[in-house]
Structure 1
Amino acid sequence: MDPPVRPVTHRIGQGHTILLTGPVQFKLSEGRAQCFGAPINPDTWITVEDLRQEPILATEPATLEIKMGPDGSWKELLESTIPTGWTEAAHILQRQQGVAAIVGDVDSGKSSLCTFLANMCVQNGLKVGVVDADVGQADIGPPTTISSSLASEPILTLQDLRQETAFFIGDTSPSSVPDKLTRLIVRLKEKLVSSSELVLVNTDGWIGDLPALRFKEELLHETQPDLVLGLSRGSEIDPLLDMVSSASIRLPSSTYARMRSREERKNVRETGYRRFLLGSKTMKISQENTKLRMFDRSEQQVLRWDRKLKGFLAGLLDDHQELLGIGRIREMIDGYALVETRTTERPRFLEIGNILLSSKYEEIGYGMLH
């Protein structure tokens, strides 16, 4: 982003919100403000990425300096964007702790709710773990992966969390490998439970049909959350909440939650690939030391090394099937794979995903190997 040199200076009244839509940069120059419950550090330029939205709430009269990028925008609201129910849910989790699963439709604000709850509980002294289980609109790791992290301090976005453990799912839709996804989400949750007082499981937005409901029902059965938080604009989450055996609360989406088009969601994913692939070097991987397999096949089914896989997204996995890093296949030749990746660790498994990427890490194909 190349914002204008001169920022706009704007004064905000106490209790008012500046809603920023990226690409935007801002700095708090006077007063106090917060974002999803996290205090804003003064005199520090903060970037809101393209197509992302962040609400800056003035907890006392404050002054912001704002630099606009192309297509970035901002507007002032006379209220907080955080529904009262979210604060009540945070108070429940501070007392109850345990495991909480967040479910809801696409663009209902699940990541915003997860960020807010993590911040409120961290600032209350809890050790909070986060499972990012949204393979399409992943925040902590790249698209096609799920990951976990410990939140040790307040954050403005889930992207601020460092990916600690991750698994390669290989697709941006949970519908292609629901059993694999469920099994690996459970692994992430169980790993966090031992080191956290509260674990937040942030799920994907697939809830609109019967297969989706069955998947979510099975996921919630296997993860065994102490509380399910159902986020919705209306009653669309009710069929799922009626199916679950765990205690559940229906929460309203923020009135200001932003609806993205399919193209915008694709653009966000491409930004996610670039976060983890720009600056890659080419790794030469030998069939003698690495097993090659498809993302949706059993671990025993190994691919031939002479397949035409140029451009496909891949996961480089260690002995424990955990993700070392994603990569893009450049070429398969003479029993070797040339893979663009940022990891320097040698993989035990090279798992081929369902997404074809251009050299600029744009999605140009999907599901072309079957």
Structure 2
Amino acid sequence: MASTQGAPGGGNSGVKRYQLGKECELRVEIGDDSRLRLRLVSGTAEIFGTELPPENWLSFPPGHKFAVFTWHGATIELEGKSELAYVADETPMVSYVNVHAILEGRRARARSSSTDSEPSQGPRVMVVGPTDSGKSSLCKMLLSWACKPSWKPTFVDLDIGQGSITIPGCIAATPVEMPVDPVEGIALEKPLVYFYGHTTPSINVELYKVLVKELAQTLEKQFASNAESRTSGMVINTMGWIEGVGYELLLHAIQTLKADVVLVLGQEKLCSMLKGVVHGKDIVKLHKSGGVVPRNTKLRQRARSTRIREYFYGLSNDLSPHSSIASFNDFSIFRIGGGPQAPRSALPIGAEPAADPTRLVPININADLLHSILAVSYAKDTDQITSSNVAGFIYITDVDLQRKKITYLAPCPGDLPGRFLLVGTLTWSES
């Protein structure tokens, strides 16, 4: 039930108070032009597995969607305008926390069986399912619950369409040492980021596979020298494309990242298919939350734009990106993929040259780069570019062909950490 009373401090939007019973949740959707504050008045509650501090107001930016869940009962107050806010008493949270308990047991066993020379492997859990099934939300819960008893799991994000660690168009991983902040999201500790450059894998399927493999190999090296990370395991988020090529990429990711637990959200057919071909791993079907909101193409594009804006300006416009001007010859720009693997003369008669998905193609700077997002590679040589992770991103705001100057926006002032830049199809309009 919900009751309303006046706003603290004389605000115009008023305060709504919600009484939540045991194992209920308050589902909230904030409009794109609204802001909202929330606080826990009594009881205990959590957002994405992170406990709310009592009596502290949390400020949420426009467009946020979340659920406040309580195991034992709580009173919640909302101040501001929400597009939707309602209490639900049917949630899949008990099954989610049961999965967490099993993962905890595996982490504990891995820790007890580890030696100084050979750390044991903790659980590597991959969350799969169709678009808008709540995969990223479940990942956040599993990470937050794992961090409470001081585990430090690695979060791997393979969803290039949205991007939970960095901007869309990337495959990334980061160690997680603290429960996920309900507003700010995952605190980034030395994220490992590979730039794919597109928001759908169909543009270059083989490159997507190559980058997943590079990420996996780098993580294995890190785990070999860090027993704590290895025993804490991984939580892996995946794309919502689960048919055809998407299904093929899912199988590739399970094998490459050596996932031993696959959680299937809201898709019985996918669960059955995986059980038929993936052996020696636990395939577990879970119900998706009733609070999951389906998004159309326009909403997805808006979410991508918001993620890119947050990278440069911060969640609350609290960052000041730096505009710089550089000469065309200050750096080299490349696209990965394209161009024939072999000249037509070297092919059998009648055969057509196929595009090389990992070929490095130099890009001439022209007006087409305007509004593009470019990645700054750590590579020191061109032959390292495809396999190198990236330092960050810049946004092209002007291309002056006469003066051969390019103007770009970067998160901070100073020289770029590398002179090799990568471009894909990722663009952004600052308006």
Q: Same fold (TM over 0.5)?
A: yes
Match of 1:325 in 2: 392
- Determine the structure 2 residue equivalent to 1:363: none
Matched, 1:301 2:368: no
The 2-side partners of 1:317 and 1:226 are apart by: 32
Residue 58 of structure 1 corresponds to 70
Q: In the alignment, is the contact (CA less than 8 A) between 1:17 and 1:57 conserved in 2?
A: yes
**Contact kept? 1:306, 1:335, Cα under 8 Å:** no
Alpha-carbon distance in structure 1 between the residues aligned to 2:325 and 2:301: 29
Q: 2:57 and 2:238 mapped to 1: Cα distance?
A: 31
Q: Is the 8 A contact 1:38 1:156 kept in 2?
A: yes
Q: 2:421 — aligned with what?
A: 350
Q: Deviations over 1:277-318 (max 9, x none)?
A: 334322334444422112545464211234632122222222
Of residues 140-149 and 152-161 in structure 1, the stretch that sits farther from structure 2 once superposed is: 152-161
> How far 1:354 moved relative to its partner?
0.4
Correspondences of 1:183-262 after superposition (within 5 Å)? 183-193=210-220, 194=223, 195=226, 196=229, 197-208=232-243, 210-247=244-281, 248-262=283-297
Instruction: Give the equivalent residue in structure 2 for 1:146.
Output: 171
In the alignment, what sits opposite 1:78? 89
Whose radius of gyration is greater, 1 or 2? 2
Distance change in 2, residues 1:169/1:56 (3 Å): same
Indicate how the Cα distance of structure 1 residues 30 and 359 shifts in structure 2: closer, same or farther if over 3 A, else same: same
Q: State the partner residue of 1:367.
A: none
- How much has 1:274 moved relative to structure 2? 0.8
The secondary structure found in structure 1 opposite 2:132 is coil
What is the alpha-carbon distance in structure 2 between the residues aligned to residue 192 and residue 136 of structure 1? 22
Cα pair distance change 1:308/1:119, threshold 3 Å: closer
Percent identity (aligned): 20
Higher strand share: 1
Instruction: Flag structure 2 segments of 5+ consecutive residues without an equivalent.
Output: 1-10, 107-121, 314-319, 339-357, 381-387
Give matches, 1:79-158, under 5 Å.
79=90, 81-96=91-106, 97-156=122-181
CA drift at 1:192: 4.2
Give, in angstroms, the shift of residue 43 of structure 1.
2.6
Following the alignment from structure 2 to structure 1, what is the Cα–Cα distance between the partners of residues 145 and 68?
A: 16
Aligned amino acid, residue 68 of structure 1: G
User: Does the alignment pair 1:21 with 2:56?
Assistant: no
SS of equivalent residue, structure 1 residue 159: coil
Structure with the higher helix share, 1 or 2:
2
2: CA distance, partners of 1:306 / 1:254:
47
* Contact 1:13–1:58 (Cα < 8 Å) also in 2: yes
The one-letter code of the counterpart of 2:18 is H
Structure 1 residues 356 and 235, CA, compared in 2 at 3 Å: closer, same or farther? same
Task: Look up the SS of the partner of 2:290 in the other structure.
Answer: coil
Per the alignment, residue 39 of structure 1 pairs with 51
Q: Distance between the aligned counterparts of 1:238 and 1:159, measured in 2?
A: 33
Instruction: Provide the TM-score with structure 1 as the length reference.
Output: 0.86
TM-score by length of 2: 0.74
Whether the aligned pair in 1 keeps the contact of 2:394 and 2:411 (CA below 8 Å) is yes
For residues 284 and 68 of structure 1, do their structure 2 counterparts lie closer, same or farther at Cα, with a shift above 3 Å needed?
same
Moved more, 328-337 or 38-47: 328-337
2:383 aligned partner: none
CA distance in 2, matches of 1:266, 1:43: 36
User: Residues 18 and 76 of structure 2 are in contact (CA less than 8 Å); yes or no, is this contact kept in structure 1?
Assistant: yes
Between the aligned partners of 2:171 and 2:134, the Cα distance in structure 1 is: 18
